Structure 1
Amino acid sequence: MVLKKKLSVKKFAKLVGHHSEGNIRVFRERLRLKGIIKNNEPLTEDLVPVWKEIFTAHEQQGVSWTEAMDHVIDHSEYSVDQSKPQPSEEVITSKNDEKMDEIITLLNEILVELRKEKVFNNQ
């Protein structure tokens, strides 16, 4: 499998139509738990069709987000052979991911303010 452009949760949300970043974090967590991506790997463009299937299952069939995610991921080309040993389920929690996203957002806001004050300029 050749991976495409790596995306943050926020960029992935924009790419798929501004869906809830929280749901996308859960999606990323499910992919990690199933061994499809590693703990430190971001989402990629090639996962967009999988997300779209999940969204369709959730909207049209009325199943919960997590049920839709598990079903689509288990039946996608990315599913992992369950007969093989699975990686440890110790993964970065979505709370940690949320905190990191908050920190990045705050740092960007600080940078904007510093540039306004002309304290820090990229040259």
Structure 2
Amino acid sequence: MDKHYGHIIERIIRRNGYSISELARLTNVNRRSIYNWFNQKNLKPEIIFRIGCALKHDFSEEFPELFTEDEFQKVIAPAKTSEEDSQTGPEISSSYWKDKYIRILEEYNRLLVNQVKQEPKKS
């Protein structure tokens, strides 16, 4: 069977609900590069590994010919420090709080725009 690496990666990204913007930010490339990757039949293993690290996804299941499970384990389940042991959940992630803050700002801006549209115009 002939694999299309880009399509496989795109399917995983979309199935797991990742946004293209988030992936672009995590991999330090622009969104156009992400879409270009999706169209490539053969991606470099370095790019696939980079995406896997950013998304904390083990691509050794989809591409056993390229990776072993051990290559992703250090990224997916890094050793915890004693400080991290006392904290659990997504609350400890700085990107979690950054994304939450951005969503709140976007909602606030949307509400402001709606309010301005509803105000009667003063002559």
TM-score relative to the length of structure 1 = 0.32
Point out the structure with the larger helix share: 2
Q: Which has the higher contact order (CA 8 A, sep 6+)?
A: 1
Structure with higher Rg: it is 2
